[in-house]
Chains A and B, each alone.
Chain A
């Protein structure tokens, strides 16, 4: 990283179209440094319909579908591909004078450009910006503070560090999503340590790290806490490999910590002592979430911590904190915006319910409520005073029944997001439909997913009730044991704005329970009606017809999850051919074979990844794919005892600029 890069005197000739627009802006521009151009104008340069812009418009559109770090390296942008890596090592952008005269050239100094681009947050927009021209590429890379890496193996830490010299915040995702459901063996990879090692020299001022499905050790957490002195925010979701000892290191050494967000990880909980490791001098905490940890923490330490952190806005405690204790905590932080309660178990509560009636009366900023473990009709009403302002209510750990839910929801008029357990039944969902007209997101989790003898839970009727009362629904995750095509068609009509539709009929391959037909028409209705659909998860008995519908109609689809579905290779082929915006495809237990896999040969580089397990793919087809597409990593996971070598039981394909990974364990074969 050369800090002495020269300022470009003029914009590259290649960008005449850009510069024309830009220079007209610059005449209106006030002298720097007062008011920089607003972001709106930067975007409009790109999206202008002027015919002079057209050669660049295509490139910019392509980038929309590509992950930020990979964009410049991807094969689509081959014009820059060779040059991109060269840019990283160039010290300065060459100054060039336009021989035709200077009126059309911009006098847009680097610093101004960087200042403007600093306002661009979305990583997709930044990808687009970086492809406009060399100068914009450089200005973008110097002004970027946050990098999002959707697949840790698509790029290496060295490449990231070389391209972006001034990163303060990193989001990193590792294992394929099906690892959440035990389909990926341990020690598969996604170790965060190689990243931390590179970052310790490249980004010593790193402030934020958000990890999802990464392997994290206590040693890495200690390394993080000691090598990055200004470190502020750590978020770990669905990670594994560490224990509460790692949290001790974070609490002890990160003097400026603002966020510690520990969610649903495979963590070895050795005790709650880590919380007591926060020094008395630490007052900067804004977000603390330890709801998913089982061990008891010292209430005294917690109370003192909460009292001295005046900026605390998110507090999610674990189940060991009783209602009495929670009341004490709330008295110290009435400014909270998000609260995760402890247990409502009656046996642990010392006083009658009237003692808690003022618990929430000072919490005027509270908009999110979760936890509510062991909530019972007796003590649940203590939250009623806070309900009118709530926009997100997470009841997925409270086994409420329909009447309890109805009573609660009658107070929650502002809800936008609601998570439930299916113990509330269809009647509970009727209450949702009648009480929450502003609802945008609903998730219904199964209380008993593995006990096949139980026939409780929710059905198609509950879903239809919600759709009637909540036309603004965009995001649904619904676990049920029975569904009909007609119901889903009605739901689609009622809620045409779905962007995320994830339906899980829990018995694999189950047909419409009334007509006994496949569920093809259900998903057909969804993709035909909901044109904004970005994410779809399908289930039930499904033939190739479902995939024909998806390929034909789901033109905005980016993520598709398929299990126990389809009749032949055609199914997968329809999707690969038709869904132009597809980025992530995960398939398990489907009869898709080599022809299907290879039909996507030219498509996979425009996607983040493909997962296929328990399908009909052989090693030879994987080898062909790997040979034809060197910019993909084609990984096959081998079964323990060898078995049939020609069957490729678990295949993971992803695009990468980092080549085959060097840390693959013995059971992962990269072809």
Chain B
């Protein structure tokens, strides 16, 4: 668990990271910003369908209810963000050797490699078989994926959660094409 930088997450008025500037311009006495109820609401307003990818921006102070965007629209926005960030593993393209066009799958729908493989098998009407650490897949097909570094990896080697954050797209190859490195 990372240590939370309390000052960075403190709720206050004015521009993020610029307390002095705000105090100079306003002649008012300090306003009570200790608004516990709101902070719990703030917590929920930036929670976390999108998961870890949001944490860098949470470090900046966010003012409750600002900008004035309705909750409904806010939720749509956060939903959209998570979809477009394929790096965190939402919709990814799947290509299959011999198929004329690509498909897309929502990785978020699956909880494990088993479920994903089953989904792929259903989608492409093929039999991929079971994963084995030593021998890969004992069938004519091998499911692979392109990771963040651009390398093609065999599906199943790394833990599921790590796979989700690193998978950019999938490809079902023929076993004979797989080069053992």
Contacts and interface: CB of A to CB of B under 8 A. Distances in A.
B179 interface: no
A311 interface: no
A507 B27 CA distance: 20
Interface string A443-479: 0011111111100000000000000000000000001
A32 interface: no
B14 to A, nearest CB: 5
B67 interface: yes
Contacts of B65: 178, 181-183, 588
Contact of A182 (B25, B32, B64, B103): B64
Given A182-B45, A509-B25, A591-B26, A452 B16 contact: yes
B38 A504 contact: no
B42 interface: yes
B109 interface: no
Nearest to A185: B37
Interface stretch (B1-9, B71-79, B167-175): B71-79
Contact of B57 (A181, A451, A504): A451
A537 to B, nearest CB: 8
Interface of B: 13-16, 22, 25-29, 31-38, 41-42, 45-46, 57, 60, 62-74, 76-77, 80-81, 91, 103-104
A181 B26 contact: no
B14 A508 contact: yes
Interface string A568-581: 10000000000000
B25 A181 contact: no
B66 A563 contact: yes
Contact of B29 (A182, A541, A616, A641): A616
B50 to A, nearest CB: 11
B22 A509 contact: yes
Interface in A327-358: 347
B57 A450 contact: yes
B37 A180 contact: no
Contacts of A180: 68, 70-71
B87 to A, nearest CB: 16
A534 interface: no
Most buried by B among A396, A399, A564: A564
17 contacts: A182-B71, A183-B38, A185-B37, A238-B70, A445-B73, A447-B80, A450-B57, A450-B74, A450-B77, A504-B68, A508-B14, A508-B63, A509-B13, A509-B15, A541-B25, A589-B13, A639-B34
Given A181-B66, A504-B67, A567 B26 contact: yes
A453 B56 CA distance: 10
Nearest to B64: A182
A640 interface: yes
Contacts of B46: 450
Contacts of A265: 72
A300 interface: no
A238 B69 CA distance: 12
B72 A446 contact: no
Interface stretch (A39-47, A73-81, A643-651): A643-651
A663 interface: no
B123 to A, nearest CB: 11
A506 B67 contact: yes
Contacts of B31: 589, 591, 614-616
A264 interface: yes
Contacts of A182: 38, 41-42, 45, 64-65, 71
Contact of A445 (B32, B36, B69): B69
Top 9 nearest A-B pairs (CB, nearest first) are: A591-B28, A181-B65, A264-B72, A182-B41, A347-B104, A506-B67, A449-B67, A647-B32, A183-B65
Contact of A181 (B16, B35, B69): B69
Given A181-B65, A182-B71, A509-B15, 18 more contacts: A180-B71, A181-B71, A182-B42, A266-B71, A347-B91, A347-B103, A396-B73, A453-B57, A507-B15, A508-B14, A509-B14, A591-B27, A591-B31, A614-B31, A614-B32, A614-B35, A643-B36, A644-B32
